[in-house]
Every structure is written in C-alpha cells, then in structure tokens.
Amino acid sequence: MLDAELKSKINQLWDKFWSSGISNPLTAIEQMSYLIFMKRLEDEDSENEFNAKLKGEEFTSIFEGHEDYKWSNWINMSADDMLNHVKYKVFPFLASMGDEDSLYNRFMKEANFVIPTGSLLVEATNIVDDLKIKEQNKDVQGDLYEYLLSQLSTAGKNGQFRTPRHIIKLMVEISKPKLGEVICDPACGTAGFLMNAYNYILKENTSKDLIKVDEDGNEYNFTGDKLTSNDFNFLNNNSFYGFDFDPTMVRIGLMNLMMHGIKNPNIEQVNTLSLRFNQEPMYDLILANPPFTGSVDEEELNESFSINSKKTEILFLELMYNCLNVGGRCAVVVPQGILFGTSNAHKSIRRKILEECRLDMVISMPSGVFKPYAGVATGILIFTKGESTEKVLFYDMESDGFTLDDKRDFIDGKGDIIDIIDKYNNIAELELEDRKSKSFFVPFDEIKENDYDLSISKYKEIEYEEVEYEDPEIIKEKILELEEKIIQGLKEIDF
C-alpha cells in the first residue's frame, strides 16, 4: 500500500543511520522507533485534547509542565542543542512516564538513546516528520512500520528473525482467530503473528463493500464496522499477549502493534521457559515460531515441564500445550528434527501432541523458506488441545511462491499456500489416500507404530520411473561406429 515516495523516505532514513555508523538493523529500528514514538505521543495528546473539548471534559496533557518536551517544540533546534535536549531531557522524561505497568514504562524500560550525532538526529527527525504519520490512515501507518521491519531480512540477533509474512498469513488463515479469544505468542519477536491475527479479526468483522484491494491484490481497509465499542475495548486490552526475552524485540513488537492500531498491546519481556512465566492454561489460540537454538539454564527452567530436555524446540512445544485452554488451538513452526528425533524427549512431546491433542495437519516446508537467516528445513504443526487424534493430514509444500535461494525472489507469492488452506478448510470431507501426491492422510495407529514419527518421508511413497537400458554389447557397437565416423571425417578434412 505504500507509495514510492513513502518507501523512498524510509530508505533515506535507513541510509542516514547506516552512513552514521549504526549498521545493526535491530539497533537502527529501535532508535527509529523511539523517534516515531515521540512524534506519535504528541499527535495522540493533541487528539485527546481535541476530543475532550468536543465532549466538554477537562483535559490534562501528559506534557503539562514540560511543554518543551513536545516534538513540535524541539524539532527546529540546532543540531547540538537538539541532541542534548532529546538525550538528556526528552528521553528520560519518556522513560519515567506512567506507572510501572503502563505502556510507556514497558516501551521505554531499559531503553538507551544511542543516536551519536546531532546532524543524524536532525536528518532523522526531518524524515520522520515528512512521513506525516498522523495524517496516514491505520493501514498505511502499519505498512510504514512493516516496510521498516522488512530490512531485518539482512540480519538476525540471538537466533531471532522475522517469520516471512506470507507464512504468518498461512498459519493465521488456518487458525481463524475469533473475536473474544485470548491469543498468545510466547516468543513474539516483532509481533507479526499477533498483528496478523488482529487484522484477520477486523477483516472478518468488516462489511465486504468496505474492503479495498491494492494494485498488488492485497486487501486492506479493515474497519471492523460490525464491532461494538466493547468489542474494540476487548481487542485493544484483552485479546493479544506476546512475550520475548529480548528487550529490543519487546520494544519493536510494541511499536508494531501500536502502529497497526492496537492501543494497549500486552507485550512483556520475560523468558517464557523460565520460572518467572506462568504456564497455567489461559489462551484460546497460540501462534508462534519459537527459537530453535539457544542455551537453557536448567536451574531457571519452569517447574511445569514434565519432559526432560534442554532443547528449546521441545520445551516450547510443551509450554504451548500447558498454556492452552482445553479446546484451544495451536499453529507452530518447528524444525524438521522435532518430527523424527529418536530421543525419549522427542518421542514424548510427539506422543503428547498426538494422544492428548487432535493433531490435524503437518506441513513440511522446503529448507529455503527461512533464507537468508537459515537454511534449516522446517514444518508447521496444527493441533487442538483436549481431543484425540484419529488421522493426520500430511502436506509436502514444494513452493511458497518465492525462490528458495538466498535472494528469495518473488515468483507468485503463493506457491502451494492457497491449496494448503483449501485442504485444511475442507479436511473433514477429504479422502486423500494416494501417498504419491503432495497431501495424504495417515491414521494415528500407523503413526504410533512408527514411534510417533511425523516426518512426511516416513509415509510418502516415491514413484520411481523404470528406465530400460540397452544391452552393453549394443552400446559398445554404437560407440565403435561413432568413433569410425569421426575418424573418417577427420581423414576427409583438407589440412
């Protein structure tokens, strides 16, 4: 939805940070987020004042007594004065706003302002000002930040990286988030799953004649016109919960949700595998792509874990099971190793998902889906807690609509995704018995007999074409004949 001018300005912003020595994309996005936050803070304060006047209500500005901390009051300072003013006055003021549980406190907790020069700050604030964020609608504001985040494709930090947007949409489309559900991502990163779940709910509650389509075929303008004020209140305050151990990712995730219209996102910094996280069942839907690697402090591990393992992918799967309400659903990205690992821990977690949940679908994805971050082969598990598995639909995704090399060039952006969604939506009516095809059912009893193995290669039948070769003597005669022709041809050449 972004026009070329807005994209150009964001590219300029990146160039300014890069040329000034802030080359880590996470650091750059974090600092850009602070500037956007400062700008939005005054915009929202002004909007609240205007609404209060319309209603004849009293209004107290968050800048009362600190008017010189408003964006509009320091944006025209000289470079050195602006740097000192923002770094030593405005930034500490923002960090101290609100009570301990306030959005401001969560956003600015342990934040550090590291823009090194006044000239960079002036150039960056001018570009942010030119974006005219206040004048953009919610869709454009969200896409602005999404475009900013797209630069994270060049780097990861502590094993974290963004899940491709089309893979997130696939998992959300299958999961079908509903109004009134409590939705969680226990390793939320930039909060892409929560943001897409929010948009899905809005779309489902928007009149079809209001939905628009951009030139690339993407739908937008999800106004949620069918929702009541109470519905919006629930969406803004009680629907979405995200957790991450990295404070930088928490701040980026918070800004991402705010830019997409969620006014009070519940994003917290916590290691969800640790003792500090409550694993009580309280969520109706979990969407996640947890880290596959990383060190685990055994002394800090939550006591709710019943499976003895140090592997984060196994621990996160049990965590999700523990946190789901009975009847709750989960869509999670896992490394292929989780599907066929032979350790007791691997078998135990698969047994739990198959016997204490209804495992509906295993999607095997090609290894290039997460490039350039990693080339590891991955899969997606779709399951519901509290029901038993009768049969599992396996799907061998061959294409996700992009090339599978490091460039990840656009092909059609769809690949097998539409067919996967269609298969899942009609799973009750399907009769897929041909194990030579992309998708087929495998009964639970057969999976159990195979040590709960969930790798598609265990069950897929590969069709080999029989090739008939000529008798060696005939091949030998043909070679001799060919040699004779070549020799004869050389004799006839006049050198």
What domains can be seen in the chain, in order of their start residue?
A: 4-148 (1.20.1260), 162-458 (3.40.50.150)
Within 10 angstroms of residue 256's Cβ, the number of other Cβ atoms is: 27
**Chain centre distance of CA 473:** 61
Phi first, then psi: what are they for 98, rounded to 5°?
75, 175
For the stretch 433-480, pLDDT in tens is 889 999 999 999 999 999 999 999 999 987 766 667 777 877 888 888
In terms of pLDDT, which residue wins out, 344 or 151? Answer: 344
Q: 381-397: string of b/e by CB count within 10 Å (b at 16+)?
A: bbbbbeeebebbbbbbb
Residue 155: pLDDT band with limits 50, 70, 90: very low
Instruction: Tell me what the mean pLDDT of segment 389-417 comes to.
Output: 89
pLDDT at 200 over 80: yes
Evaluate whether 358 touches 387 at the Cβ level (below 8 Å): yes
Greatest Cα pair distance, the chain, in angstroms, is 107
38-52, 81-95, 151-165: the lowest-pLDDT one? 151-165
pLDDT value of position 157 = 42
pLDDT value of position 261 = 82
Evaluate whether 242 touches 191 at the Cβ level (below 8 Å): yes
The H-assigned helical ranges of 183-302 are: 192-204, 229-237, 247-259
Instruction: Tell me what the mean pLDDT of segment 95-105 comes to.
Output: 68
pLDDT value of position 414 = 87
Q: What tokens appear for 476 in the block?
A: 């030998």
Residue 360 to residue 393: CA distance in whole angstroms: 6
Within 10 angstroms of residue 429's Cβ, the number of other Cβ atoms is: 6
The crossing angle, in degrees rounded to 10, of helices 344-355 and 312-323 is: 20
pLDDT at 156 over 80: no
pLDDT value of position 154 = 47
**Burial of residue 209, with CB atoms counted within 10 A of its CB: 0-12 exposed, 13-18 middle, 19 or more buried:** exposed
Instruction: Tell me what the mean pLDDT of segment 76-89 comes to.
Output: 95
pLDDT at 425 over 90: yes
For the stretch 326-348, pLDDT in tens is 999 999 999 999 999 999 999 99
Residue 276 to residue 267: CA distance in whole angstroms: 15
pLDDT value of position 494 = 62
pLDDT value of position 470 = 76
- pTM equals 0.86
* Beta bridge mates, 361: 382, 393
Residue 437 to residue 431: CA distance in whole angstroms: 12
Residue 273 to residue 296: CA distance in whole angstroms: 8
pLDDT value of position 431 = 87
Amino acid at residue number 329: R
209-213, 348-352, 374-378: the lowest-pLDDT one? 374-378
Evaluate whether 276 touches 301 at the Cβ level (below 8 Å): no
Residue 375: pLDDT band with limits 50, 70, 90: low
Residue 191 to residue 241: CA distance in whole angstroms: 9
The DSSP letter of residue 162 is P
pLDDT value of position 159 = 46
Query: Smallest Cα–Cα separation from 186: which of 104, 303, 280, 102?
Result: 280
Residue 427: pLDDT band with limits 50, 70, 90: very high
Instruction: Tell me what the mean pLDDT of segment 290-304 comes to.
Output: 81
Residues 6+ away with beta carbon under 8 Å from 140: 1, 2, 6
